[in-house]
Amino acid sequence: MNRARRIAERVTDPELPMLSLADLGVLRDVEVVGSSHVVVDITPTYSGCPAMAAMRDDLVRELSGAGFDRVEVRVSLDPPWTTDWITPTGRAALAAAGISPPGPAPSTTGPIPLTLSPTARQVRCPQCGSPATELVSEFGSTACKAQYRCCDCLEPFDHVKEI
Amino acid sequence: MADHIHTSPEDEHDSAYSGLLVNDAHWAFGTATESIGFGEDPLAGVDTTIPEGVDAVTLSTYALMLGDDSLVMSHRIAEWTSNAPDLEDDIALSNIALDLLGQARLLLARAAKADESAVPPLPEGSPAPPEDALAFFREAHEFRNVRFAEVVNGDFAEATVRVLLFSVWRLATFEKLRESRDHVLSAVAAKGVKELAYHRDYAARWFVTLARGTDESRTRLITALDSLWPLWPELFDTHPVEAAAAEAGVGVDPASVREAAEAVLDQVFTAADVEPSQAPRRSGVLGKTGRDGMHGEPLSRMLAEMQSVARAHLRGQW
């Protein structure tokens, strides 16, 4: 049981290889059923995230390689993933890799108010630490990231969007 | 330079292309193999039990309607990929299309799971999962999307208005759909509202920017609004299937979100100093519209392209 969990937790996100699935918060549950059958629950970050299939394949390969004959990867859609589930270790790993970690996720109960000005975030440059940063685009290199630019060191960088 | 794609064994490790040339059988339908995993069912592990007292065909058709909206809209927006005015907006539109495609996949899978008879028959041995069968092996008249989603793309102002109107409407719908008694629909909606809020706000900001930009940008924006406005009222028509789904507590009556959607749109119009369009509603054909399977010619042309690969390579291999 613990062994299966350890192996599953080690699998990394294909787009963010510095992050394990556990640190990303997409690994919901690892359950060993019988002697060599393991059931893993994962949750998608975004509905269309193309990394899901790779995560599933990686989990199956790693667990099969460790001797589990039957590996079942299930999708939990509910409750929806939120960036609040990224662990402190995961946030530190993102920052160390030059990606700005997300702030607290906004509430998504009730009607979602229209925001006509750029989303106000306290984003620090992951390269030089400057708080003087500006949003380039709410949509970045993957569905889950926005593009920023540092006004001091001028480096562009990705910011994981709060959802 | 093309010769560099063919790598020799010595330098294969260093080639960015070598990984693409390995194991690309089943490319069209993912890489999971039944022998070791559980295939690619996007709803594996989700409670797909039909709630008590809900008619399976109603639930399936309702999910198909929402799924077709997302799929057709996603394809139209994806047509912007590599064509947007700058890289940031190219990526933004591609991201929006991707989110909608993800929503479409789950909704079509839900339609298939609720009523298997909705799934068109596939050639013997085809590995296409049910949601792909629905996307690639139905004819235009079997699609239940609103006509708004299918119209041919225009300029960037048109893309802005299109994404704004669609996401304002769809977000208002999904805010209520979160309360659906169907676990799949409520989960898709809970996830979808977060994505749609980004789409709506992105388009709303561009709407204001273009409206307050140059005479040219404002003229183009208002032209686009007038061209799409005739299809706006259809988004709030209540089809009998939607009425039944709402009655059963699994769906949302479109008429019930009109006020909320128009209140948001008014905020955008006010910020942009734009008057709502006066363009008259586009009528249906013999009283039938997109939800009835009555579409314009552009949908047939779009599907011909979108479905061509799946239909030419029935086993998903080439």
pLDDT of chain B, 318 residues: tens digit per residue: 344 444 444 444 555 555 454 444 444 454 434 333 334 678 877 889 999 999 999 999 999 999 999 999 999 999 999 999 999 999 999 999 999 999 999 999 999 999 999 999 987 777 888 999 999 999 999 999 999 999 999 999 999 999 999 999 999 999 999 999 999 999 999 999 999 999 999 999 999 999 999 999 999 999 999 999 999 999 999 999 999 999 999 999 999 999 999 999 999 999 999 999 999 999 999 999 999 999 999 999 999 999 999 898 887 777
Q: What is the pLDDT of residue B243?
A: 98
User: Is B240 part of any domain?
Assistant: yes
User: Is B3 part of any domain?
Assistant: no
* Sites in chain A below the pLDDT cut of 50: none
User: Is B14 part of any domain?
Assistant: no
The one-letter code for the residue type at A2 is N
User: Is B93 part of any domain?
Assistant: yes
User: Is B8 part of any domain?
Assistant: no
User: Is B144 part of any domain?
Assistant: yes
Q: What is the pLDDT of residue B33?
A: 40
0.85 surpassed by complex ipTM: yes
φ, ψ (nearest 5 deg) of residue A39:
-115, 125
Q: What is the pLDDT of residue B316?
A: 75
Q: What is the pLDDT of residue B32?
A: 39
* Placement of tokens 């969990």 in the chain: A5
One-character DSSP codes across chain A: -HHHHHHHHH-B-SSSTTSBHHHHT-EEEEEEETTTEEEEEE--SSTT-THHHHHHHHHHHHHHHTT-SEEEEEE--SSPP-GGGS-HHHHHHHHHTTEEPP-PPPP-SSPPPP--SPPP-----TTT--S-EEEEES--SSTTEEEEEETTT--EEEEEPP-
Q: What is the pLDDT of residue B7?
A: 43
Nearest CA of chain B to the CA of A21: how many Å?
18
Element containing residue B137 per DSSP (H, E): none
Q: What is the pLDDT of residue A119?
A: 77
CATH number at residue B117: 1.20.1260.10
Domain boundaries, chain A: 2-75, 88-107+116-160
Question: Does residue A81 sit at the B interface (CB-CB below 8 Å)?
Answer: yes
Question: Does residue B131 sit at the A interface (CB-CB below 8 Å)?
Answer: no
Contact between A47 and B46 using a beta-carbon 8 Å cutoff:
no
Neighbouring residues of B304: CB distance < 8 A, sequence distance ≥ 6: none
- Split into its structural domains, chain B has a count of 1
A2-75 folds as GMP Synthetase; Chain A, domain 3 (3.30.300)
- Who among B37, B102, B260 is closest to A47 (CB)? B102
User: Is B17 part of any domain?
Assistant: no
Task: Residue B106: give the domain boundaries.
Answer: 56-312
